[in-house]
Structure 1
Amino acid sequence: MHNMRTILAMGACYFLFAILLNSVGTVILQAINTFGVSKAQAASLEGFKDIPIAIVSFLVATFIPRIGYKIALLGGLSLVTIMCLVTPLVGNFWALKALFAAVGCAFAIVKVSVYALIGQVTDSTKSHSSLLNTIEGIFMVGVLSGYWVFSAFLSEDISSNNWLNVYYLLAGFSVVTLFLVWFAKIEKSTSTTPSSNSASGDFIAMLRLTYQPLVLVFIISAFLYVLIEQGVGTWLPTFNNQVLNLPVDVSVQLSSIFAASLALGRLAAGQILKKVDWYIFLNVCLFGMAILVLLTLPMTKNIPQNAVTSVFNAPLAAYLMPLIGLLMAPIYPVINSIMLSSLEKHRHAAMTGLIVVFSALGGTTGSLITGFVFEYMSGQHAFYMSLVPMGVIVVTLFLFKKRAQQVACSSAV
């Protein structure tokens, strides 16, 4: 029973942070409308979210077991609760920056703690994998829910900042999660950390991995993938609103199709990859993404400003563009799996650190580039730009496959 309380607490943590982290696209749109900031300025919110995740997750990975996972989770949740209460009271763009920085720091703590706790409450590889997938599934449910939670607080008066009241609701949910963590049976880690596993030692081990050609090619692939995903996902609400002329609430609601497509794509890929070679499958996905972009974006030209009142009378392009998530979904998990399975188990922690760091950097870069192009050219040009990293990933996947095969052959000898 105490394990169920711990699992419930972990699921609640992931659900809450899924809403907060993936609200950045909606918040960017509202920041542009409410506070009058430029698209380039609004794009910086992605950096305030991702950079703290990268830095803090590396710095606290070896420290959290010493203070205890419960204290770490309570600290992260307390920080988020305070910032959710402060943000609507202050009501300016800087408050949003501070909020996302706090959310990024707290999520880094939560992710490290939750991944460690999964090992505490499971007793086999099968149960570990099952629980991890369940927790990640809860995260995707949170992502989907977040679009509808935020849209419920949006109004036709785009200059009003009443939408910030959503953070009072999220603060309330954060308090509930705090109590779930408080009453959960979370034991302090009894394992000792060798001196060689100091923060400086972990950092050196992580840097040494980048000297391997396989790891370098993987880093480029992962960086470019997240660049595309965050560039599209973050700016999709703004694209729907300013290019497709949809109301703000409808723009946000239709953006949930992107999150649903990512979830469905990863579930389907798990079955498809049992029968199809990963390299062929990922290339089909990449070419499908390019075709979808080339077919959909011309439909967004000269769209009449009709009175769209709901998701049911939106133009076809509003449904087609988010479906790119269905095709891009398998790429990231597959290359992560191939990369980790190519390394010795004692290097997985350092490799995970690289994945987190370069994923965060890719997300920030993608959002900034898309924001700048959106600002100074057009929304269509911003999304056409995604074709460039798609083409580069085709090349890096070819090199990645060759290097992975060479590593597998050398390991077998």
Structure 2
Amino acid sequence: MKNSSIKIALYLNYFVFAILLNSVGIVISKSINVYGVTESSASILEAFKDLPIAIVSFFIASFLPRLGYKKGMLIALAIVFFGCLGMYYGNSFWSAKLMFLTVGVSFALIKLSVYSLIGVITNDSKEHSALMSSIEGFFMVGIASAYFLFPAFYSDTNPDAWLRVYLLLAVLILASFLFLAFSNIQIDAETSGSDWKEDIKNSISLIVIPLVLVFICSAFFFVMIEQGVMTWLPRFNEKIFSFSEKLSVQMASILAISLAIGRFIAGWLTKRISWVKIVIGCAALSIILLLSVLPQLKTDGDVTTLSKLSEIPFLGFVLPLIGLLIAPIYPLLNSAVLSNLSKNLHSPMSGLIIISSALGGTLGSRIVGTLFEKVGGVNAFYFLIIPIILLIISVLIIQKLIKNKANAVQS
């Protein structure tokens, strides 16, 4: 089991960061209710998380192989450890911004390492797709855990009790750090190559490749969809379905669970069905689901607050199931592009993936948050249909470019 320690480390680190990254919707809701900020102001937390991911990824993507993937992940865990402690002791909207800043910087290092190492420890495109979907699926398990972990610390008498979750997360991060530090991971840092300025130049040069350019657009559109839903679903549940604050967060777990299931299924399906058919089919069904559910939700909440599972309306269970449909898209898109590039380009390409994803997440969350405040939650979610359509168009172009490349190689 040559790569078992590497895989365990990848799964464990991704799990911890899944909880932190996608708690942004929970913290947004808490910032509105506890710190008294508006929806549009609270949406800036997404930018504090995503923009550092984009910036750090841009500058470090090609340098990371020489720094060493293990060392990069250890640095990331150390940074976010102090970010969690800062959130607990700071207890303010500003400390939330700084906490997500540390999460963004750290996750850039983690994700670059994970995506690059997948290419190192797999042998072909099918194995790459399977491991990519599996790890992304486990990421969703971490997200689902967050929707139960945070409410477990809620208190009706102490508005600050929820902050204790960050002490627990700090312990988990420390455990992950120690496991990685003492793991027998034999991936040496690369010592050859040019300086970081030329590395950045090489990364930028990838953009001129048509396949890469179209893929960047598709990744941007997808994350705009995913983060638009994931970040604002707890608030949507609270305002549109009139769930209690605790129930709103817990019901959002259905989205994360369905995303996890969808990505695990994708890892199995991709061995039997073309990834293009899976992605387009899932995107089309997502549009159908939104057009079926949203017209039935006409007002921003009722007078009665619902706090029990038995009181939840049928549509409250149906809407989060969009996660099952969008789940396969991201890992299959990533794998399709990475497996069609040489392995020495995986690190800079991973950087571009993360940058486009971060920008898409920030813009998507910001737009949905602003629309939520101005025109209501239901109309804000209608907006998501636009990037879904653009995503389908991008995937069709990617398929054509991959076919053209394959035909050129054969001839």
User: TM-score with structure 1 length normalisation?
Assistant: 0.89
1:340 to 338, 359, 371: 338
Give the Cα separation in 2 of the matches to 1:4 and 1:338: 24
Equivalences for 1:361-400 in 2 at 5 Å? 361-400=359-398
Give the Cα separation in 2 of the matches to 1:329 and 1:306: 33
Which stretch of the first structure deviates more once superposed, 252-261 or 269-278? 269-278
Which stretch of the first structure deviates more once superposed, 310-319 or 234-243? 310-319
Which stretch of the first structure deviates more once superposed, 221-230 or 59-68? 59-68
Q: Equivalent residue for 2:352?
A: 354
Report the alpha carbon displacement of residue 92 of structure 1 after superposing the two structures with TM: 0.8
Q: Equivalent residue for 1:92?
A: 92
Contact kept? 1:297, 1:317, Cα under 8 Å: no
1:102 lines up with 2:102 in the alignment: yes
1:315 lines up with 2:318 in the alignment: no
Query: 1:75 is matched by which residue type in structure 2?
Result: I
Q: What per-residue deviation string (whole Å, max 9, x for no partner) do you get for residues 31-74 of structure 1? A: 11111111111111111111112222332344445555554333
Which stretch of the first structure deviates more once superposed, 7-16 or 244-253? 7-16
Identity over aligned pairs, percent:
43
Query: 1:244 is matched by which residue type in structure 2?
Result: F
- After superposition, the CA RMSD in angstroms is 2.8
Give the Cα separation in 2 of the matches to 1:202 and 1:86: 34
SS in 1 for 2:153: coil
Q: What per-residue deviation string (whole Å, max 9, x for no partner) do you get for residues 335-377 of structure 1? A: 2233234434443333222111101111111001001100111
Query: 1:288 is matched by which residue type in structure 2?
Result: L
**How many residues end up aligned between the 2 structures?**
409
Which stretch of the first structure deviates more once superposed, 223-232 or 264-273? 264-273
Equivalences for 1:181-220 in 2 at 5 Å? 181-186=180-185, 189=188, 191-195=190-194, 198-220=195-217
Q: Equivalent residue for 1:16?
A: 16
SS in 2 for 1:193: coil
Report the alpha carbon displacement of residue 145 of structure 1 after superposing the two structures with TM: 0.8
CA 1:281–1:212: 2 relative to 1, 3 Å: same
Report the alpha carbon displacement of residue 216 of structure 1 after superposing the two structures with TM: 2.3
SS in 2 for 1:210: helix
1:140 lines up with 2:137 in the alignment: no
Q: Equivalent residue for 2:164?
A: 165
Give the Cα separation in 2 of the matches to 1:360 and 1:176: 27
Equivalences for 1:269-288 in 2 at 5 Å? 269-288=266-285
Query: 2:313 is matched by which residue type in structure 1?
Result: P
Q: What per-residue deviation string (whole Å, max 9, x for no partner) do you get for residues 260-315 of structure 1? A: 11121222233444444443433322221111111111232245444522334212
SS in 2 for 1:194: coil
Give the Cα separation in 1 of the matches to 2:76 and 2:204: 28
Contact kept? 2:70, 2:180, Cα under 8 Å: yes
CA 1:388–1:70: 2 relative to 1, 3 Å: closer
Query: 1:22 is matched by which residue type in structure 2?
Result: N
Give the Cα separation in 2 of the matches to 1:139 and 1:319: 22
Q: What per-residue deviation string (whole Å, max 9, x for no partner) do you get for residues 124-173 of structure 1? A: 6698877666544432321111110011122346x923312211111122
Query: 2:165 is matched by which residue type in structure 1?
Result: V
Give the Cα separation in 2 of the matches to 1:48 and 1:327: 28
Give the Cα separation in 2 of the matches to 1:274 and 1:188: 28
Give the Cα separation in 1 of the matches to 2:344 and 2:191: 16
1:41 lines up with 2:59 in the alignment: no
Give the Cα separation in 2 of the matches to 1:276 and 1:343: 21
CA 1:9–1:354: 2 relative to 1, 3 Å: closer
Give the Cα separation in 2 of the matches to 1:55 and 1:128: 27
Query: 1:168 is matched by which residue type in structure 2?
Result: L
Q: Equivalent residue for 1:247?
A: 244
User: TM-score with structure 2 length normalisation?
Assistant: 0.89
Which stretch of the first structure deviates more once superposed, 136-145 or 220-229? 136-145
Report the alpha carbon displacement of residue 82 of structure 1 after superposing the two structures with TM: 1.6
Contact kept? 1:227, 1:363, Cα under 8 Å: yes
2:227 to 225, 230, 234: 230
Report the alpha carbon displacement of residue 227 of structure 1 after superposing the two structures with TM: 0.5
CA 1:175–1:267: 2 relative to 1, 3 Å: closer
CA 1:116–1:399: 2 relative to 1, 3 Å: closer
SS in 1 for 2:404: helix
CA 1:10–1:345: 2 relative to 1, 3 Å: closer
Give the Cα separation in 1 of the matches to 2:401 and 2:11: 37
Q: Equivalent residue for 2:296?
A: 299
Q: Equivalent residue for 1:327?
A: 325
Give the Cα separation in 1 of the matches to 2:101 and 2:190: 31
SS in 2 for 1:301: coil
CA 1:347–1:22: 2 relative to 1, 3 Å: same
Give the Cα separation in 1 of the matches to 2:314 and 2:175: 40
